[in-house]
């Protein structure tokens, strides 16, 4: 390697070490989007935090930019926010909490190095949180736990930590501990140095909360019983194996735990500091052959999300790509490993929710927004140089809800077809076709029924094509391994075979009983799961 090449490699590795790429995951209504914005507030990239519904005339959270998100106060699509904090570059991905959009969250988790698991102090581990954690465990993603809403009545801190051990097998390692029971939040004990961090409220939680750090003796004198209880509980957990150790954290068998209130901005700066100091840096990613791709290797990235309509004025399509190796430079021509065709990166953006700015360079760990990326699909690998590289594709979840879609106005059929194709390429829904119905009446397949609402809303608002949806009775989908067996399943009564846009044949059944009957009638039938753990 030449001296210039060695210097470039050093720069890439050094820049990668500055990156922290993480997702925020939670059950709906745990305060995820509020925390996302509070982190941006503490990094001083926004000056004032808005409530989810834009109360008191303030704008909504920066990561919830779809009209449906702002109307309902929930996240229904993932969002990327990149900003600097000190010497670190933060790539933060806000994810949908609702189970109907878990496929989008799964894709996001493929693009990060760690996750912040947000728990409601009153509810603890909820069903969707458990499912998302299972994905993290499957992928070996280290998890930091932030117990939110401590300003409201809730459960005991020790009880919530015990639940982490009993229900998901994660050893809690407290980094902060609440002073005052849930609903009587007075601050936190910093478990690493034993000091008391006391917070001061700001008007509506719109600005960063002021912090005062007190010694243990002063905290005992001013806070009394609440401080003693916090010391005793935190020390009890540490004594039972909860002392912080980075090794089990990186191995995803233990989780640092912090307490706070995102809406009041209490404990948020501490979480941000922990992410910068402790969260894993980008490491070599395995390609489709199982070989680690060195950080300093020529540029490579994979597309984990495609989104249209972020800017209604331009109606452009953006592909979100996670950089895995090398240096990305705006304007470079890369190769799409899926098609073998070149792709020009003239329009590259740094994302901050719906807002964007021109991005000239990016390094491993960064998320790049590629504009006018109509040639890119979720799961595509982009690379420069030789030899070719391809990263593992992102599987589609097994759908459980199906509906025939037709244009309500035949005069808008062209716009309808274009919109359905677009939504399918983004992964908003899966698009299935059958010879029986023809191309004019595609079948939309979804993990959850709310995806149909999003699809119908976007068809009408972005493409001016109102859709009429007719629900189908199928609830179980399997992969038809042998196309020659299509006629065995495609009876049109209790089962049917439809073809997905990627050419996959899906055998659909009205319920598990119908699937069982089919297997007994035709034991030779070759059916497989669509993705492990998803159906």
Q: What CATH number did the domain enclosing 375 receive?
A: 2.40.30.10
In the chain, the number of structural domains is 3
Confidence of residue 425 (pLDDT cuts 50, 70, 90): confident
d(C-alpha 218, C-alpha 420), whole Å: 64
Q: How far is CA 525 from the centre of its chain?
A: 36
In a domain, 249, yes or no: yes
Q: Write down the pLDDT at residue 62.
A: 46
Give the residue with greater pLDDT, 400 vs 1: 400
Q: Do 62 and 123 share a domain, yes or no?
A: yes
Q: Is the pLDDT of residue 103 over 60?
A: yes
Residue 3 in any domain: the answer is: no
Same structural domain, 212 and 133: yes
Interstrand relation of 114-120 and 143-148 (parallel, antiparallel or unpaired)? parallel
Q: Is residue 389 part of a domain?
A: no
Q: Would you give the end-to-end CA distance of the chain in angstroms?
A: 48
The band of 359, judged by pLDDT with boundaries at 50, 70 and 90, is confident
- Nearest partner of 30 among 263, 203, 265, judged by Cα: 263
Give the Cα separation of 368 and 320 in Å (integer).
6
> 392 in a domain, yes or no?
no
Question: Average of pLDDT values for 40-63?
Answer: 51
426-451 pLDDT tens trace: 778 899 998 888 888 999 998 888 88
Q: What residue numbers does the annotated binding site cover?
A: 94-98
Q: Are residues 377 and 443 in the same domain?
A: no
How much is the pLDDT for 355? 63
Q: Is residue 186 part of a domain?
A: yes
Per-residue pLDDT at 293: 96
Q: Is residue 13 part of a domain?
A: no
Task: Give the whole-angstrom CA distance, residue 269 versus residue 295.
Answer: 30
pLDDT band at residue 109 using 50, 70 and 90 as cut-offs: confident
- 442 prior amide bond cis, ω within 30: no
Q: Which residues contact 519 (CB under 8 A, 6 or more apart)?
A: 525, 527
Q: Are residues 350 and 420 in the same domain?
A: no
The two three-digit tokens of residue 315, written as one number: 């109606």
* pLDDT tens digits along 493-520: 799 999 998 888 999 999 999 999 999 9
Backbone angles phi, psi at 235, to 5 degrees: -65, -35
* Whole-angstrom Cα Rg for the chain: 25
Question: Do 56 and 202 belong to one domain?
Answer: yes
Cβ partners under 8 Å of residue 365, min gap 6: 16, 19, 20, 21, 89, 91, 113, 281, 282, 322, 323
Question: Pairing state of beta strands 355-358 and 348-352?
Answer: antiparallel
Task: For residue 373, say if its preceding peptide bond is cis, omega within 30 degrees of 0.
Answer: no
| Domain of residue 322, residue span | 285-383
Segment 285-308, tens digit of pLDDT:
999 999 999 999 999 999 998 887
Q: Are residues 363 and 414 in the same domain?
A: no
* pLDDT reported for residue 309: 63
Average pLDDT value for residue range 228-255: 93
Residue ending a domain, among 228, 250, 278, is 278
Q: Which of 252, 278, 304 is the last residue of a domain?
A: 278
Distances in Å between the Cα of 93 and the Cα atoms of 185, 236, 256, 368 are 28, 34, 19, 12
Are 505 and 476 in a shared domain?
Answer: yes
Q: Are residues 233 and 208 in the same domain?
A: yes
pLDDT tens, 514-525? Answer: 999 999 999 999
State percent of the chain over pLDDT 90: 58
Query: Whole-prediction pTM value?
Result: 0.81
Asked if 108 and 202 sit in the same domain, the reply is yes
pLDDT of amino acid 303: 94
- Reading the block at residue 113, the tokens are 């190095």
Say yes or no: 264 and 155 in one domain: yes
Report d(CA 166, CA 95) in Å as an integer: 26
Domain boundary (278, 294, 314) is at: 278
Decide if 501 is inside a domain: yes
| 310 shares a domain with 345 | yes
Task: Please name the residue ranges forming H helices in 110-200.
Answer: 127-139, 157-168
Task: Identify the pLDDT of residue 245.
Answer: 94
Mean pLDDT, all residues of the chain:
85
Question: CB–CB of 64/72 below 8 Å?
Answer: no
Residue 32 has pLDDT above 70, yes or no: yes
154 and 120 both lie in a single domain: yes
We report the CATH number of the domain holding residue 63 as 3.40.50.300
Tell whether the model's pLDDT for residue 215 goes beyond 90: yes
Q: Which of 97, 176, 90, 85 is nearest to 130 (CA)?
A: 97
CA distances (Å), origin 308, targets 244, 250, 314: 43, 35, 10
Residue 52 pLDDT: 33
pLDDT of 54 > 50? The answer is no
Structure token pair of residue 28: 């709906």
Is residue 393 one of the residues assigned to a domain? no
Query: Which tokens go with 164?
Result: 């982490």
Note whether 175 and 257 are within 8 A (CB): yes
Residue 396 has pLDDT above 70, yes or no: no
Annotated binding-site positions for GTP: 94-98
Handedness of CA 244, 248, 249, 252 (dihedral sign): negative
Taking the C-alpha atoms of residue 70 and residue 169, their distance in angstroms, rounded to an integer, is 36
Q: What is the CATH number of the domain that holds 439?
A: 3.30.70.3280
């Amino acid at each position: 390697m030449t001296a210039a090449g060695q210097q470039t490699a050093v720069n890439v590795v050094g820049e990668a070490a500055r990156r922290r790429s993480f997702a925020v995951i939670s059950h709906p209504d745990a305060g995820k989007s509020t925390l996302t914005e509070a982190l941006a507030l503490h990094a001083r990239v926004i000056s004032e935090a808005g409530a989810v519904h834009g109360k008191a005339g303030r704008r909504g959270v920066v990561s919830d930019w779809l009209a449906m998100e702002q109307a309902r106060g929930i996240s229904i699509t993932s969002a990327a926010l990149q900003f600097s904090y000190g010497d670190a570059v933060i790539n933060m991905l806000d994810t949908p909490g609702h189970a109907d959009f878990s496929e989008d969250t799964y894709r996001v988790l493929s693009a990060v190095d760690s996750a912040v698991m947000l728990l409601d102090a009153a509810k603890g581990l909820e069903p969707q949180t458990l499912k998302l954690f299972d994905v993290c465990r499957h992928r070996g993603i280290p998890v930091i736990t932030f117990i939110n809403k401590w300003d409201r009545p809730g459960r005991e801190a020790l009880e919530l930590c015990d639940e982490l051990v009993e229900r998901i097998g994660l050893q809690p390692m407290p980094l902060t501990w609440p002073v005052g029971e849930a609903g009587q939040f007075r601050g936190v004990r910093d478990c690493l140095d034993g000091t008391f961090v006391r917070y001061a409220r700001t008007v509506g939680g719109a600005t960063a909360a002021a912090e005062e750090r007190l010694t243990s003796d002063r905290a005992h004198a001013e806070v009394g019983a609440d401080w003693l209880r916090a010391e005793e509980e935190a020390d009890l957990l540490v004594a039972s194996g909860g002392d912080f150790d980075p090794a089990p954290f990186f191995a995803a068998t233990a989780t640092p735990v912090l307490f706070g209130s995102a809406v009041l901005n209490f404990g948020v700066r501490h979480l941000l500091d922990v992410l910068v100091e402790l969260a894993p840096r980008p490491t070599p990613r395995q390609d489709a052959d199982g070989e680690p791709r060195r950080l300093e290797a020529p540029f490579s990235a994979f597309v984990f999300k495609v989104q249209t309509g972020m800017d209604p004025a331009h109606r452009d399509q953006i592909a979100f790509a996670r950089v895995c190796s090398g240096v990305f430079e705006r304007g470079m021509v890369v190769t799409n490993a899926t098609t073998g065709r070149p792709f020009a990166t003239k329009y590259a953006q740094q994302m901050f929710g719906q807002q964007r700015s021109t991005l000239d360079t990016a390094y491993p760990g960064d998320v790049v927004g590629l504009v006018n990326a109509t040639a890119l699909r979720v799961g595509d690998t982009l690379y420069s140089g030789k030899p070719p590289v391809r990263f593992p594709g992102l599987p589609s979840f097994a759908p459980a809800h199906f509906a025939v879609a037709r244009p309500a106005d035949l005069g808008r059929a062209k716009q309808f077809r274009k919109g359905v194709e677009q939504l399918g390429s983004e992964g908003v829904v899966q698009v299935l076709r059958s010879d029986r119905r023809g191309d004019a009446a595609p079948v939309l397949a979804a993990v959850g029924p709310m995806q149909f609402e999003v699809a119908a809303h976007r068809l009408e608002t972005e493409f001016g094509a109102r859709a009429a949806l007719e629900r189908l009775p199928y609830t179980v989908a399997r992969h038809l391994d042998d196309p020659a067996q299509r006629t065995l399943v495609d009876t049109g009564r209790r089962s049917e075979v439809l073809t997905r846009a990627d050419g996959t044949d899906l055998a659909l059944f009205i319920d598990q009983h119908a699937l069982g009957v089919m297997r007994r009638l035709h034991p030779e039938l070759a059916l497989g799961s669509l993705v492990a753990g998803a159906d």
